[in-house]
Structure 1
């Protein structure tokens, strides 16, 4: 097989890149190791920055997003039994965010690609990237029971943290930076209307809690949700009997998360314990009630930060979780992947139209500027809101001081709002 751009990975990054290239007249092939059913049920992030929404519209893949996505004007911070609203439009010049599950983005992109092209091969397991330094790199893959090769001008590694693309960097050609956090998230999916209009980030006595939601399931696109977390984060333990829940159309869905110790077993958290702990961590000195209902899925996910530098070697370019992972507190994982893809698509389109490699030559440096800023923001949010297992009273007061600064200073609140809603593409 021969193509201009070989794309490894059929998640949102790979599919969006293929869509943008196709609309620019650049041929490509997408290799996805899993089945279509698996990819379309793989639940990950759900908060979209304004730039991500724009990218999906640019790709012609935002019809359902526009109709069904939930527009949010900000977030709520809770601590010391108080609630504080961070209003994004007034702090950022009008920016908002939108709630729309990654699994729905994947369904939209898969449907478009299968109808309009370019080729998308499921159960096509990439085995290796060969000769990335040459002008004809080759992807070896296994499909329909036999090994095949895909010769490319360029290879985009969009195959996630556990993919093979990053392994094609020779020894000494790159460096990785990583950090493991000393706690995990217990994520639950509940068939109950959300208790809030916007996301709640809470620092309670027992640790961190997050109240999120999903739009009601589309009547035309029923889905199965998995209570897992943003892409790239390794799930340590799933509840064996509640991993996948089939949701009737139109049903409101709440997604909630609790900070728990690493190594926690979901079976140690029966439903009543989950709801009681959530209620305690969200508690405020005001009239507010946490809605309770059937919990259909539970999982415990560990948290890490990871960055690989550079994001390019020869004609192999990494995008998304293949190059970086952030803790989910800042909701940056999916949005960083889309940012990478937008820069990469622009570089490949410029080369196609003008013959210039200027944008491609600056791809890694430009993306890494944004990656490190998003990593810093995610790390700040995580450490500010989570109970530190080895922390003392001084650490506790410092966390509160940081939260008080955000709620008392318009400048500090604007910085949080700008980072959360999405930095400009040039950063």
Structure 2
């Protein structure tokens, strides 16, 4: 097999990269070790920054997003007795959209299989080779158990933290530097067949722990509770979950809608950055290079920013033979990664209870500052809705 760009991983990052390259006449093949059903069912992020919506729209996969997604013009910040609204268009001229990552993936898969480049599911033993030269390759076993070799000009590793690409970059002559922080709390997330009882997302600080009220559609709510990382999901009954949400989101004259819980899981929280994001002709994007806690709604949006930069760099490299953007890709992408990592850490640190009274007073002071200062509110709004992608 032969292609210009071999893409490992069929999450949103890999599929969007293939889509962007195709629109510029660059061939690609996407390899995925899971089944299509599994890929399309993964429940992940749900907040899209303005640049992500614009990129998906320009790539021709935004029709259903605009038809079924929910545009949001702000968020509510809450602490006991107070709920304050941040108006994003007034503060920074941008908005965000609620549209689940599962739906983004379905849209990209459908476009890929409708006359797009090859997308191979259920492959195994994926191994990038000779990435330091000009003719890298990917060895893998296809769904029928037949060994294959994909000859490439470039390999893109969009295969997440546990995929093979990150390890290959780390094994290079210069190695890789890793920064990591594990947070002392996790999120218990649920999907519920309950109409959202709020117009905007609610980020709530409470002495019992953080709570987030989000949504997936006019009939489905997505809610989260801060829990200890060692909590077991079976210890959380429906009643215990709804009681916890009612307590942490309590406000006079308002209460969350309840309904059948259709999905529940516990999500550990950590920050992770690995640099560089390139080794020779192998480029990393998305979770293969960085992970952020979900409080800032940055994970999927960072992946989209990565592949937007990478697609531009690869088009210039493969069509014009110019290496400048490819050579700058890692440094350029990492500047945004660290900005978003800081914002995610800041939101997480401001909103999650630690059990320390001193920390609690600092958090409340910061929340009051954001809720009373236009400058502080604008800083949050600019980062939450997404800073411009560096050219």
TM-score, with length taken from structure 2: 0.97
Assess if the C-alpha contact under 8 Å between 1:159 and 1:165 holds in 2: yes
Whole-angstrom CA distance in 2 between matches of 1:404 and 1:211: 20
2:258 counterpart SS class = coil
1:376 counterpart SS class = helix
Deviations 1:136-186 (A, max 9, x none): 111111112022111111000000111110111225421111111101111
Moved over 2 A (4+): 351-355
2:345 counterpart SS class = helix
Aligned to 1:246: none
Aligned to 1:273: 240
Aligned to 1:101: 100
Aligned to 2:72: 72
Whole-angstrom CA distance in 1 between matches of 2:230 and 2:103: 30
1:116 counterpart SS class = coil
Q: Which of 368, 380, 401 matches 2:365?
A: 401
Whole-angstrom CA distance in 2 between matches of 1:77 and 1:26: 44
Aligned to 1:208: 210
Q: What is the Cα deviation at residue 126 of structure 1?
A: 4.8
Whole-angstrom CA distance in 2 between matches of 1:361 and 1:34: 32
Q: Which of 192, 195, 198 matches 2:194?
A: 192
Deviations 1:217-258 (A, max 9, x none): xxxxxxxxxxxxxxxxxxxxxxxxxxxxxxxxxxx1011000
Whole-angstrom CA distance in 2 between matches of 1:311 and 1:425: 17
Aligned to 1:223: none
Deviations 1:175-226 (A, max 9, x none): 111111101111111111011111000001201000000025xxxxxxxxxx
Aligned to 1:254: 221
Aligned to 2:160: 160
Aligned to 2:302: 336
2:355 pairs with 1:361: no
1:388-427 matched pairs, under 5 angstroms: 388-389=354-355, 392-426=356-390
Whole-angstrom CA distance in 1 between matches of 2:46 and 2:329: 26
TM-score, with length taken from structure 1: 0.89
Aligned to 2:282: 316
2:330 counterpart SS class = helix
Whole-angstrom CA distance in 2 between matches of 1:182 and 1:71: 32
Aligned to 1:119: 118
Q: What is the Cα deviation at residue 76 of structure 1?
A: 0.3
Aligned to 2:231: 264
Whole-angstrom CA distance in 1 between matches of 2:27 and 2:329: 20
1:194 counterpart SS class = coil
Whole-angstrom CA distance in 1 between matches of 2:318 and 2:126: 28
Whole-angstrom CA distance in 2 between matches of 1:339 and 1:128: 26
Cα 1:368/1:126, change in 2 over 3 Å: farther
**Structure 2 segments unaligned to the other structure (5+ residues):** none
Whole-angstrom CA distance in 2 between matches of 1:423 and 1:126: 38
Aligned to 1:81: 81
Whole-angstrom CA distance in 2 between matches of 1:82 and 1:332: 26
Greater displacement, 332-341 / 290-299: 290-299
Assess if the C-alpha contact under 8 Å between 1:17 and 1:345 holds in 2: yes
Whole-angstrom CA distance in 1 between matches of 2:85 and 2:269: 26
2:382 pairs with 1:380: no
Deviations 1:379-407 (A, max 9, x none): 00001100114xx2211111111111101
Whole-angstrom CA distance in 1 between matches of 2:180 and 2:83: 33
Assess if the C-alpha contact under 8 Å between 2:157 and 2:288 holds in 1: yes
Whole-angstrom CA distance in 2 between matches of 1:141 and 1:84: 53
| Number of residue pairs the alignment of both structures matches | 388
Assess if the C-alpha contact under 8 Å between 2:33 and 2:122 holds in 1: yes
Q: What is the Cα deviation at residue 125 of structure 1?
A: 2.5
Whole-angstrom CA distance in 2 between matches of 1:54 and 1:127: 33
1:222-261 matched pairs, under 5 angstroms: 252-261=219-228
2:296 pairs with 1:297: no
Assess if the C-alpha contact under 8 Å between 1:350 and 1:357 holds in 2: yes
